[in-house]
Amino acid sequence: MVNYVLRPQPNHAALPRPDVIETLDPDLDYELYANNCMSRIAFAGIGLAHVLASADVQLGPLCFVTLVPARCAHPVGDGRPGTCEENTLWRRIGRAANFDVHVLKQMARQALGGIPFIGMVEAALYWRWRPGRQSRHDWVAWHCHLITWGAHAEEVSRVLAPFRARHTSMMEGVAAAHVQAVEDDDLTRQFLYMMKAPQKMTRVEYFKRPWTSPTTGEVKPPGLHSQKDWLQTGHRIRLMDVMGHRKLDELFFGNREGTALYRTIRAEALAPFRDRQRREERARSRR
């Protein structure tokens, strides 16, 4: 991945935006760029410590909620005739890269109402698929994962019923909101899953015969089914461009009592950045 980005070759199918490459620098982990793996690791570690120490969260009951409204899906914007450089520009000005994540965060807060949560906004790449049907181009579904507490899965699902009624998802017959109960000993795994960077892309394919999921063993009838494949280097480049200069503290958010927890995590994660700012200001004042 590093060689692909820093040493592009003529046969490379996707080239990163030059201004986005800097977000990968491990020495810039204090900036909290969403593309920066060191930032992700540090932010997740800080967040997990505070979540496990929260008395409200520990009281439960806990749920893992995923919201994937179709209105937050947008085309990547590349894949047009032209050079790699031209397609890089198309990605930069594309709707996926310029999506306002505050829209999705507000939708989540309105949907959950008085149920507290903390959550993370993330991007998922769909290969040649747009909401409800095939596409000539790839799309990005902006979605969010939430950890809620204080309400059982049945209550959370009931509260989300109006959201499901108003919004479609990426596939017909699949709800735009999914709720899963979380056991106390599974909180760490679910939180770290919520904080990870995108690892897979989604393909939607038609199966003529019954299909058995290799992971769950569930037998699915003939029809359209989604499958996930590991992101290849070119896919990661394109998602890196879509994520751009977004920062983790901007993608992370909370609701109700979760807002205070979000602010505590954010403040500690931003402390190195604030310290650096103060040092630079003192250095400038001495000149």
Domain definitions of the chain by residue range: 15-198+233-286
Is 10 a residue whose pLDDT tops 60?
A: no
- CA separation for the pair 241, 17 (Å, rounded): 6
Amino acid letter for position 252:
F
Cα radius of gyration rounded to whole Å, the chain: 20
Q: What is the pLDDT of residues 21-65, one digit of tens each?
A: 989 999 899 999 999 999 999 999 999 999 999 999 999 899 999
Report the Cα 265 to chain-centroid distance in Å. 18
**pLDDT class of 124 with cuts at 50, 70, 90:** very high
**pLDDT class of 89 with cuts at 50, 70, 90:** confident
**pLDDT class of 224 with cuts at 50, 70, 90:** confident
Contacts by residues 192-196 (CB-CB < 8 Å, ≥ 24 positions apart): 192/44, 192/48, 193/145, 194/64, 194/119, 194/120, 194/145, 194/146, 194/147, 195/40, 195/43, 195/44, 195/47, 195/48, 195/120, 196/40, 196/44
Residue keyed to tokens 């095939």: 134
Query: Is the separation of the CB atoms in 43 and 264 below 8 Å?
Result: no
Residue keyed to tokens 């890089």: 88
Is 185 a residue whose pLDDT tops 80?
A: yes
Contacts by residues 275-283 (CB-CB < 8 Å, ≥ 24 positions apart): 276/30
Q: How many CB atoms lie within 10 A of CB 214?
A: 7
Q: Closest by alpha carbon to 229, among 186, 190, 251, 199?
A: 199
Instruction: Give backbone dihedrals phi and psi of 66, rounded to 5 degrees, phi first.
Output: -120, 125
Query: And the tokens for 242?
Result: 């879509």
Query: Is the separation of the CB atoms in 40 and 140 below 8 Å?
Result: no
- CA separation for the pair 104, 43 (Å, rounded): 21
Q: What is the pLDDT of residues 101-114, one digit of tens each?
A: 999 999 999 999 99
Q: What is the pLDDT of residues 246-283, one digit of tens each?
A: 999 999 999 999 999 999 999 999 998 888 877 877 77
- CA separation for the pair 122, 65 (Å, rounded): 13
Prediction pTM value: 0.90
Query: Is the separation of the CB atoms in 20 and 91 below 8 Å?
Result: no
